[in-house]
Amino acid sequence: MSGQGEPVAMTARRSGPLSGVAEVPGDKSISHRALILGAMAVGETRVTGLLEGQDVLDTGAAMRAFGAGVVRHGPGEWSVNGVGVGGFAEPEAVIDCGNSGTGVRLIMGAMATSAITATFTGDASLRKRPMGRVSEPLALFGARAHGRAGGRLPMTVVGAADPVPVRYALPVPSAQVKSAVLLAGLNAPGQTVVIEREPTRDHSERMLRGFGATISVEETGEGHVITLTGRPELRPQVVAVPRDPSSAAFPVCAALIVEGSDILVPGVSRNPTRVGLYLTLAEMGADIAFLSPREEGGEPVADLRVRFSGAMQGIEVPAARAASMIDEYPILSVVAAFAEGVTVMRGVRELRVKESDRIDAMARGLEACGVRVEEDADTLIVHGMGPGGVPGGAVCATHIDHRIAMSFLVLGLAARQAVSIDDGSPIATSFPAFAGLMAGLGAQIARAG
Ligand code: S3P
């Protein structure tokens, strides 16, 4: 959990060239899914490279509460003894998913078609986020959910004793909602169909196939039509989690804007549904080479060599790219502040319902650091000030949001004056080693004091 202990103020100062190797942690999306699907398989799933961030640890604890055996054997090495599809036990206590929207939404889906009841909660950030987007499709299976006003946590889900399969067109582009419906479909008889107009990350589809489920994806005029056959026996797997492209984005973007930098970020996932930031940076003129492309754990990966890129150009990021870089807009807006010209990010309304309202959080912090920003409900526009041109010198509010915290610390590495954040503790949800890793590259990031 985050945001529930003492806030940890941190400061980043203008730094010399960053250099060395940045070993970023395992992919968060894949880590959650490895634990949840492991818990729904029969037998022992082994996981290597698991992200040991608080979000994933909370999902591991939840899987234990539903009856699975979840054991840590060493750094990133875990096993999950699954109870099988439909085998979840009823948890004795409230399930606390901490800061994690992915954790709570996927687990709600996974339990919604079993005849058990569970109550979910989370930290102050998660309790503000909309859960109706998940409870509504789960009701179609026959589950009932009772939450606070506006579909907020805490929420109790009464699983369907006699679930029916569902055909559901996603009203918002969300891999979390898609995955919740697919996981619920596992214990419904017959075929569950999810239709997504805009493709979102496809880790659930890939991993369900890997665990032995029958799942097909058809491209039609309506978009992706994903069909899952219910009641499979999932077979335990060996899951090698690739490194997280969303976490890699922080050292990568830091190296792009800190003069003279040259770093290597090995083994980063290049899953096509996650590469939007990297396409965007290339269009802006970033110097990133993708070395030794290969396949690891069923995902394409590469080693990223990243060099300071001088005057990058502001661009218009198309709305159609939003789903493939949804978590990367905060750090892109930092790069945009050091680019020449204007960067326009369209189709980004989903940012308003993340761990914080990320459009508002970035706009206010960038303005405090002397950057001109425009926004509307669905758009963020950053007026670039050129390399080294951002004044900085502010304390930015992070709103219990790890990516806002890391983004402003990266900004401080290249701004003229130091940049502080009010609370760096949420960074532990996704990238516990962030400060140490960045310091190892030569970044001046420390607790404020
Ligand atoms: C995730 C999906 C995205 C993303 C989140 C992880 C996932 O959320 O922002 O960090 O693992 O499915 P949405 O599905 O709400 O867009």
pLDDT tens-digit readout, 283-334:
999 999 999 999 987 889 999 999 999 999 999 999 999 999 999 999 999 9
Phi, psi of 308 (to 5 degrees): -45, 135
pLDDT of 5 reads 78
Check whether residue 422 and residue 305 sit in a common domain: yes
- Nearest-CA residue for ligand 1 atom 9 is 327
* Atom number of ligand 1 nearest to Cα 172: 16
CATH of the domain at 297: 3.65.10.10
Q: Please, are residues 12 and 445 in contact by the beta-carbon 8 Å criterion?
A: yes
Which of 208-217 are b and which e, b meaning 16 or more Cβ less than 10 Å from the residue's Cβ? Answer: bebbebebee
Check whether residue 216 and residue 361 sit in a common domain: no
Q: How far apart are CA 339 and CA 386, in angstroms?
A: 5
Q: Two tokens at 291?
A: 């070395």
Check whether residue 21 and residue 130 sit in a common domain: no
Range of the domain at 58: 28-230
pLDDT of 395 reads 98
Q: How far apart are CA 417 and CA 268, in angstroms?
A: 32
The best mutation among 176, 183, 273 to test binding of ligand 1, ranked by most ligand atoms within 8 Å of the C-beta, falls on 176
Ligand 1 centroid to Cα of residue 393, in Å, is: 32
Check whether residue 14 and residue 117 sit in a common domain: no
Active-site annotation holder among 123, 327, 401, 423: 327
Assigned domain for 236 exists: no
Ligand 1 centroid to Cα of residue 175, in Å, is: 5
Task: Tell me which residues have their CB closer than 6 angstroms to ligand 1.
Answer: 29, 102, 174-176, 179, 201, 326-327, 350
User: Minimal CA–CA distance to 3: which of 59, 57, 62, 54?
Assistant: 54
Assigned domain for 133 exists: yes
Helices (H), 125-193: 132-141, 175-185
Check whether residue 208 and residue 64 sit in a common domain: yes
Q: Please, are residues 284 and 314 in contact by the beta-carbon 8 Å criterion?
A: yes
Ligand 1 centroid to Cα of residue 304, in Å, is: 23
288 forms beta bridges with: 306
Q: How many Cα atoms sit within 13 Å of 287 on the Cβ side?
A: 16
- Measure Cα distances from 175 to 9, 129, 180, 240, 328 in Å: 32, 15, 8, 21, 15
Q: How far apart are CA 211 and CA 298, in angstroms?
A: 12
Assigned domain for 3 exists: no
Active site residue 55: no
Check whether residue 184 and residue 312 sit in a common domain: no
- What single DSSP character describes residue 203? H
Q: How far apart are CA 35 and CA 262, in angstroms?
A: 35
Check whether residue 202 and residue 272 sit in a common domain: no
349 forms beta bridges with: none
Ligand 1 centroid to Cα of residue 293, in Å, is: 25
* Atom number of ligand 1 nearest to Cα 204: 12
- Measure Cα distances from 341 to 184, 254, 384, 405, 410 in Å: 46, 19, 5, 25, 20
Q: How many Cα atoms sit within 13 Å of 169 on the Cβ side?
A: 5
Q: How far apart are CA 11 and CA 424, in angstroms?
A: 9
Strands 444-447 and 10-13, sheet pairing: antiparallel
Q: How far apart are CA 418 and CA 409, in angstroms?
A: 9
> Which residue, 205, 230, 255, sits at the end of a domain?
230
Judge if pTM exceeds 0.75. yes
- Nearest-CA residue for ligand 1 atom 15 is 174
Check whether residue 161 and residue 291 sit in a common domain: no
Check whether residue 322 and residue 430 sit in a common domain: yes
Assigned domain for 235 exists: no
Check whether residue 347 and residue 200 sit in a common domain: no
**What's the CA dihedral at 227, 233, 234, 235 to 10 degrees?**
-140
| Number of domains, the chain | 2
Assigned domain for 1 exists: no
* Atom number of ligand 1 nearest to Cα 354: 9
Q: Two tokens at 264?
A: 């290597």
pLDDT of 297 reads 77
Q: How far apart are CA 253 and CA 335, in angstroms?
A: 7
pLDDT of 214 reads 98
> Which residue, 202, 230, 258, sits at the end of a domain?
230
Q: How far apart are CA 134 and CA 229, in angstroms?
A: 20
Q: How far apart are CA 59 and CA 107, in angstroms?
A: 8
Residues of the chain with pLDDT under 50: 1-3
Assigned domain for 328 exists: yes
> Which residue, 209, 230, 251, sits at the end of a domain?
230
Check whether residue 80 and residue 63 sit in a common domain: yes
User: Minimal CA–CA distance to 324: which of 51, 29, 23?
Assistant: 29
The order of strands in the sheet holding 262-269 is 19-21, 262-269, 299-307, 287-296
Check whether residue 319 and residue 402 sit in a common domain: yes
Q: Two tokens at 293?
A: 């492309």
Ligand 1 centroid to Cα of residue 35, in Å, is: 16
Assigned domain for 4 exists: no
Percent composition of the chain: helix, strand, coil (DSSP 3-state, to 5): 35, 30, 35
Assigned domain for 315 exists: yes
pLDDT of 4 reads 61
The best mutation among 30, 133, 174 to test binding of ligand 1, ranked by most ligand atoms within 8 Å of the C-beta, falls on 174
Q: Please, are residues 221 and 247 in contact by the beta-carbon 8 Å criterion?
A: no
